[in-house]
């Protein structure tokens, strides 16, 4: 499932081909993904100029000069294809630009979504209105977490997955950040010390920034047709490494289940 770094890498890759471009052809090739495509999508976007791209949590934003923003979510299996040789049956939305590029949103499982929102009203869009701060912004600071987690008895791991506390964090990077900050994922959120929160915030920012950088280096190889944006191999410290040696001590990485999802941790290193 694409997480924040993959979405950020995707947005940066799309920006190379879309920023400043006029959308000369816009096509939906079925009626819906997880939800129907917005009515009027093709009419509103055709002939519009892309004024900029951005990311909010795990959503990609394509701003156009008609005061609207296309918001996409990659769901479980979504990805953008740049200049595919030919369109496939999972390419559900196609954008063509004045510079001759074709971008296809491919989503075999169709858990993704596309919305069209007034640019001036983005902050009030329901999926954005309740979001916590962006993890890579200065708004995510130890003081914010101390306030948000005070008195909370839920496990710190589950609280970090709550998008109202931090926007866009998913399972992989929460596991990795808690390991790097040496915090037990099972610890009641309200009992995590201020010193530990002081380690956690830079750990969150570092694991995300490293993943984005890894994606960016992969991106340089995307000259070939059918290049897919947003997926890259990354070495994780604990995620997916059950039974393998901890990289920091002589212990072994364990997998537990929290809130119905796997957590990987080193019980020696994380307290
Ligand atoms: Zn360890």
Catalytic residues: 2-3, 58, 261
- At residue 213, the pLDDT reads 83
- At residue 231, the pLDDT reads 42
Residue 196 backbone dihedrals phi, psi, to 5 degrees: -70, -40
- At residue 218, the pLDDT reads 52
DSSP percent split of the chain into helix, strand, coil, nearest 5: 30, 25, 45
pLDDT mean over 33-38: 97
Residue 247 Cα to ligand 1 middle (Å) = 6
Token digits of residue 218: 């992969």
Residue 163 Cα to ligand 1 middle (Å) = 28
Residue 115 pLDDT > 90, yes or no? Answer: yes
* Residue carrying the six token digits 């890498």: 9
Residue 205 Cα to ligand 1 middle (Å) = 21
pLDDT mean over 28-40: 96
**CA angle (33, 36, 42) in 5-degree steps:** 100
pLDDT in tens, 65-111: 999 999 999 998 888 999 988 999 999 999 999 999 999 999 999 99
Least confident of 39-43, 216-220, 236-240: 216-220
pLDDT mean over 223-247: 70
Give the pTM: 0.91
Residue 243 pLDDT > 80, yes or no? Answer: yes
In this structure, the number of other CB atoms found within 10 A of the CB of residue 33 comes to 23
Instruction: Please report which confidence band the pLDDT of residue 215 belongs to, taking 50, 70 and 90 as the band edges.
Output: confident
- Give the integer Cα–Cα distance in Å for 9 and 227: 13
- At residue 77, the pLDDT reads 84
Residue 237 Cα to ligand 1 middle (Å) = 10
- At residue 212, the pLDDT reads 86
- At residue 1, the pLDDT reads 76
Residue 197 Cα to ligand 1 middle (Å) = 19
Residue 110 Cα to ligand 1 middle (Å) = 39
Instruction: Please report which confidence band the pLDDT of residue 216 belongs to, taking 50, 70 and 90 as the band edges.
Output: low
SS3 259: coil
With a pLDDT cut of 90, the percent of the chain lying above it is: 83
Residue 143 Cα to ligand 1 middle (Å) = 27
With a pLDDT cut of 70, the percent of the chain lying above it is: 93
- Give the integer Cα–Cα distance in Å for 238 and 175: 7
């Amino acid at each position: 499932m694409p997480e924040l770094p993959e979405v950020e890498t995707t947005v940066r890759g799309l920006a190379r081909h879309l920023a400043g471009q006029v959308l000369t052809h816009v096509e939906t090739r079925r009626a819906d993904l997880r939800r129907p495509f917005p009515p009027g999508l093709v009419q509103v976007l055709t002939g519009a100029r892309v004024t900029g791209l951005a990311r909010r949590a795990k959503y990609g934003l394509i701003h156009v000069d008609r005061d609207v923003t296309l918001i996409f979510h990659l769901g479980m299996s979504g990805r953008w294809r740049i200049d595919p040789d030919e369109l496939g049956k999972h390419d559900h939305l196609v954008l063509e630009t004045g510079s001759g590029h074709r971008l296809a949103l491919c989503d075999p499982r169709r858990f993704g979504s596309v919305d069209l929102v007034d640019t001036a009203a983005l902050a009030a869009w329901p999926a954005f209105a309740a979001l916590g701060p962006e993890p890579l912004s200065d708004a995510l600071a130890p003081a914010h977490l101390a306030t948000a987690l005070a008195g909370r008895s839920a496990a710190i791991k589950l609280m970090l997955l709550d998008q109202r506390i931090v926007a866009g964090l998913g399972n992989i990077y929460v596991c990795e950040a808690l390991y790097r900050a040496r915090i037990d994922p099972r610890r009641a959120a309200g009992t995590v010390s201020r010193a530990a929160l002081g380690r956690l915030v830079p750990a969150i920012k570092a694991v995300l920034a490293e993943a984005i950088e890894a994606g960016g280096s992969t991106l340089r190889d995307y000259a070939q047709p059918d290049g897919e944006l947003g997926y890259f191999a990354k070495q994780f410290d604990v995620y997916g490494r059950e039974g393998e040696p901890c990289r920091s001590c002589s212990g072994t990485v364990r997998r537990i289940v929290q809130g119905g999802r796997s957590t990987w941790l080193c019980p020696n290193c994380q307290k």
